[in-house]
Copies of this chain bind each other. A is one copy, B any other.
Amino acid sequence: MNDFVLGKKVDLGEFTLSEQEIIEFAKAFDPLEFHTSIEAAKKTIFKGLIASGPHIFHYIYKKEWVPRFGKTVICGTGVKEWKFIKPVRPGQKIKVEVTIIGMKPEETTGGTAINWLFEFRNEKGEIVQVLQTEVVHKNP
């Protein structure tokens, strides 16, 4: 089916988010003060602006995952686990890999339910965010 194989790992490259991008996303979808205000963020435990967790995922999902795999999607069924482990700051380089960690036939649609694990790492190689999501894909 397409070239989906259990255990397959795909390098989605690296990216950074600017102060402006972080603030714009947060004002629209996650308006907590440590995401929307440089000044207010200084007084929080983060001591400065950090990106919204969902921003990190949606940025790379739209830019890299959808162009590669979007045409094969029948539907998404949800997110199994999504951990915001370390803060991500403006200009910080984030590397992303996605791995197929589960595959099973999906009877209603006749497709294949794939469990994708996204891993986000900082410059030191430390995990900053992980997300597992199940998506049903078309068979070839």
Residues of B within 8 A of A70 (CB): 31-33
* With contact pairs A29-B62, A30-B62, A66-B32 given, residues A78 and B74 touching in the complex (Cβ less than 8 Å): no
Establish whether residues A29 and B45, one from each chain, have CB atoms under 8 Å apart when the complex forms: no
How many identical subunits does the complex contain? 2
Closest chain-B Cβ to A60's Cβ sits at a distance in Å of: 11
Please give, as numbers and ranges, the residues of chain B lying within 8 Å of A30 by CB-CB distance. 58, 61-62, 66
For chain A, the count of residues having a C-beta within 8 Å of the partner chain is: 30
Contact with B along A52-74 (1 / 0, CB 8 A): 01100010011000100010011
Q: List residues of chain A with CB under 8 Å of any chain B CB.
A: 28-34, 44-46, 53-54, 58, 61-62, 66, 70, 73-84, 109
